[in-house]
Amino acid sequence: MSGNLKRKQVPAYRTGEFFNQLSGPALADLESILFPSTYPAHAVLFAEQDPSAGIVVVLEGEVELSVNSSDGRRLSFRIAKPGQVLGLTAALSGRPYQMTAETLHPKKVAFVSRKAFLHFLALNPDAYEAVAREASHSFNLAFEQLRTVGLSSSVPERLARLLLAWSESGQHSKAGARCQVALTQEEIGEFIGASRESVSRTLSVFRNRRLVSQHGNLIVIPSRDALERYACSC
């Protein structure tokens, strides 16, 4: 048997900003009411206008957040990562959910009832600051997405800004900024209010101009500055 002790692997959700802000006692209390569940792809965790039942903590994988129009069109706002908490505003206010949360692939999340979450906050008032920051961060991301879709005049500009935003949290190397995009072109279109055909044509233009390269789900942006300049010129 090796004399080296294996370090206990830190759960992916613990790396999220929300959990990093919690004190030791608050973290222990919250984790005591997290009961993981695995959901299949495209499972709706909660839907907009549904009464708030509680919060959802993303433990593994990614969850898409979107809103829908009365005629069935969908606008996706963001993809939630491990450690992010969904449904905070609704849980705190008691109002219906403002968005729909849907798994992209089979994922693991934890649901915490509104009653249990409010009890957790009553026991750990110092956690309110982390909750406020998480809710504010979610609002700012949604606002920026609305700005991109509403104020960007062309599909190339909207798509370029979306890829630039995704690449901010991706890996960076000499080859450029890299990000994994495990979405269909139709799903990408839902983030920028464009059809699958428009996304396909625009990505082709980006590749021909060497603004991006694509290898399966991996998108590489050789120069963020070049892509941003192209977006501003569209």
Which parts of 59-98 fold into alpha helices (H)? 88-93
Which of 114, 129, 150 is at the close of a domain? 150
Q: Identify whether 7 is part of a domain.
A: no
Best CA proximity match to 49, nearest among 70, 71, 64, 63: 70
Residue 92, domain extent: 12-150
82 and 19 Cβ atoms separated by less than 8 Å: no
pLDDT of residue 128: 94
SS3 (DSSP) at 76: strand
pTM score of the predicted model: 0.79
If one compares 171 and 76, the residue with the highest pLDDT of the two is: 76
Q: Let me know whether 145 and 157 are in one domain.
A: no
Q: Looking at 34-43, 56-65, 150-159, 160-169, which range is the least confident one?
A: 150-159
CATH number of the domain to which 56 belongs: 2.60.120.10
